[in-house]
Structure 1
Amino acid sequence: MTHDHHSSFEPGDCAEYLQQIIYFLDNELDEADCADVRRHLDECGPCLHHYDLERTVKSVVARSCAESAPESLRQRVTLQIREVQIRITEV
């Protein structure tokens, strides 16, 4: 993989930064580590792309977890669960 680094980053550094991206997104790094990750993302296009992808996935998951199923769907699922329970108890 080719990286356009304009600083002293070594090729192996990307693996370390990629592992920190999740912690960075969750605000679980101290300020010094956040600054290091930000600096690396500013200078490394492939890592920035990975960060953008992780951020998008996290956003989509958060949004989908906040949505509720329509009441009609919830009622159909509940009815099917009850039917299965009845069949199991009859066996």
Structure 2
Amino acid sequence: MAHMHGDEPTNEECADFLERIMRLIDNELEEGDCVVVRAHIDTCNPCLERYDLQRTVKAIVARSCSETAPSELRDRVRVQIQEIQVRISEG
């Protein structure tokens, strides 16, 4: 598999890219850095897999955060919290 330097990326190189991959997903990289990170992802299967996994996790979390729990569930959680607070204050 080709790499920018003509050899396989080292674990140390990939560790350096992990933070940049996260910042790429969050749209927090300068355009020049985006090009470098995308080039690395294109030539490094482990980093590509991390990139895909992180994007998937981020999408699931974003979708989950926009959903509202059913009112029965919210009521049960409130009751349990109140019961725990009573136990703590009596304990």
TM normalised by structure 2 equals 0.77
Query: Which structure 1 segments of 5+ residues have no match?
Result: none
Runs of at least 4 residues off by over 6 Å: none
Map of 2:30 onto structure 1: 30
The answer as to whether partners of 2:21 and 2:51 remain within 8 angstroms in 1 is yes
How many residue pairs get matched?
88
Matches within 5 A, 1:6-85: 6-8=3-5, 10-11=9-10, 12-85=12-85
Cα distance 1:69–1:6, how it changes in 2: closer, same or farther (>3 A)?
same
Q: Does 1:5 align with 2:27?
A: no
After TM superposition, the structure 1 stretch with the greater mean CA deviation from structure 2, 65-74 or 30-39, is 65-74
Structure 2 residue identity aligned to 1:76: R
Identity %: 52
Q: CA deviation at 1:59?
A: 1.0
TM normalised by structure 1 equals 0.77
Query: Which structure 2 segments of 5+ residues have no match?
Result: none
